[in-house]
A and B are shown apart, each in its own frame.
Chain A
Amino acid sequence: MPKKISEFVIEGCIKLSGWVVIFFVALIFLFLLKDALSLFGVHSLPDFLFGKSWLPISEPPKFGMVPLLLGSLYVTLGAIVICVPLGVCSAMFIAEVAPTHLKHVLKSLIEILAAIPSVVLGFIGIVWLGPFLRNTFGLSTGMCGLTGSLLLAFMALPTVISISEDALIGVPKAFKEAAYGLGATRWQALWRIVLPAASSGIIAAVMLGIGRVIGETMVVMMVTGNSPVMPRSLLQPLRTLTATIAGEMGETVAGSEHYFALFAVGLILFIITFIINFIADICLRKARK
């Protein structure tokens, strides 16, 4: 009898923690929504969504989020282009090619990579990577989108590698053996059989990498220059959604228009990461089947 009671209690606790998490997410969303929507009582929605200038302390202030959104998208896209091929190839190497002892070393090194604080990466970006890129590409300043993209790619690598590797390992052995049986080389089996079979897991890895990159704040705030321009290329300074919130939140008075505008930016960011995570979740589910 006591065993049953304890089981009941434990089951209840687990169920409760699950519900609590869902409840918190809903609460955060509602909280963001409430303050974000307050903006549109005083500021027009189209001006916010399609406005091309972000001048929060001018008279009258302008809250056009297009430059910020584009800034975030540019940096994220740049980071993904750099990090996905690198990450997936590393995962392929670790999962299929590397000998066991090397595998262990690489895996722990990747864990260390994941543990580097973002502020340290930002510092490296300011003192070394920025000036290096400026001199290499002859830019006017090293504080540009590319510096941010490179550092963010570095940050997203561990996520992409470990999830892709899991997906690759999860491919049934029989697939590979069948390929070898038909006379495929190791490369052919890996490229044509294992990789496509693991594709939904890899897409999920990429999606989670994007989620990691788009939400990152410290690095982009330190190295991208934060100019609220409409970005034309990655080689110029830009301002992201996250850096805007972090840089300006401290000076806003609770309940002011600027305060609500930052919440609206936060809501946009929340929606973007929500969609990305949702897609990643669908892919992961597909991969498990």
Chain B
Amino acid sequence: MKKLLVFTTVLLLIGAVGCKETVDPNEPVGFIQVKGSDTIVNASQEVAEEFMKDYPHVFVAVTGGGSGVGIASLINKTCDVATASREMKSKEIEVAIKHGVTPKEFTVAYDGVAVIVNEKNPVERLTIEELHRIFTGKAKNWKEFGGKDLGIVTISREVSSGTHMYFKEEVVQLGKKGSQEEFSNETLLLSSSQAIVEEVAGNEGAIGYLGMGYVSERTKALLVAKNGVAYPPNVDNVKQKKYPLSRGLYFYTNGEPNGVTKLFIDFALGPKGQERFRNTGFVPTGEHIAKKN
């Protein structure tokens, strides 16, 4: 059924390009389903569009939903490439292998997780420990951090988000393995980065986090410090590993990619694909100086 659907989609697309055109038998033809992280959904979309310019007979469909959604659909075999803003958990790899899927990881770019507050909030910088106290609900007032006497409203993405997982591990649990700390249960769980921007822009007491590429002018990104010096989230600081909340962005395939999927992965890692990542506010892999821990 699915094959039929894919087949007709491709046929329709070829039809749309024009009937006079005959397809060169050596030309790659196919359909790639890319699914996952909302953080890189825009970047992936641009890469896909660029790719389709080079390979007009391959159709790439990009959808978001969250890293968890992408990984789940890779395991359920409903997508060819899963995008993720976090690494797959060992438990997920276990489940994948049980379902006959061997995930292969490709690091496509690097990203910083920006912490944003309302523009009227006088607080400019916070340390990881302070963020930890805020997001676990131990600190409840901005007064403690030199702000106004105002309750703190913490905002997070839904549990399907890779950014949620990353932030939970690095900030809520302070990077300690086996930590049982959780987001304060009063944290708002919103289903998109845009909803977070919307709430932070309108609410003076709000604090949220999202991928660096989503920071808008209507909110203020905080400087974050780990060992004394605070850095703003920007491409240079992520590139040099100075900004403490930096992470990799990944593509996953089932086993070694082949056919059109391989073409797509190679394209994303190649100069044209990397250029698209740079244009959408991420750090291309080649420029990342320090190795991953």
Name A residues whose Cβ lies closer than 8 Å to a Cβ of B: 53, 55-59, 67, 126-127, 131, 134, 140-143, 221-222, 225-229, 236-237, 239, 247-248, 250-254, 256
Contact = CB atoms under 8 A, between A and B. Distances in A.
B76 A254 contact: yes
Contact of A141 (B69, B158, B199): B199
Interface stretch (B104-112, B183-191, B231-239, B259-267): B183-191
Question: Contact size class for B?
Answer: 20 to 34
Interface of B: 65-66, 68-69, 71-72, 75-76, 92, 95, 99, 151, 153, 158-160, 165, 178, 180, 182, 185-191, 195, 198-199, 202-203, 205-206
A127 B203 CA distance: 12
Contacts of B186: 227, 229, 236-237
For the residues of A in contact with B, the DSSP-based class is loop
Contacts of B206: 141
Nearest to B206: A141
A221 B191 CA distance: 8
A227 B72 contact: no
Contacts of A226: 158, 188-191
B191 to A, nearest CB: 6
A58 B203 contact: no
B153 A140 contact: yes
A126 B191 CA distance: 12
B159 A251 contact: yes
B203 A250 contact: no
A258 B191 CA distance: 18
Nearest to B73: A250
A126 B203 CA distance: 12
B205 A256 contact: no
Nearest to B35: A250
B185 A227 contact: yes
A250 B189 contact: no
Given A58-B182, A227-B188, A250 B99 contact: no
B184 to A, nearest CB: 9
Given A55-B182, A57-B159, A140-B153, A250 B198 contact: no
A239 B189 contact: yes
A256 B189 CA distance: 22
Contacts of B159: 56-57, 247-248, 251
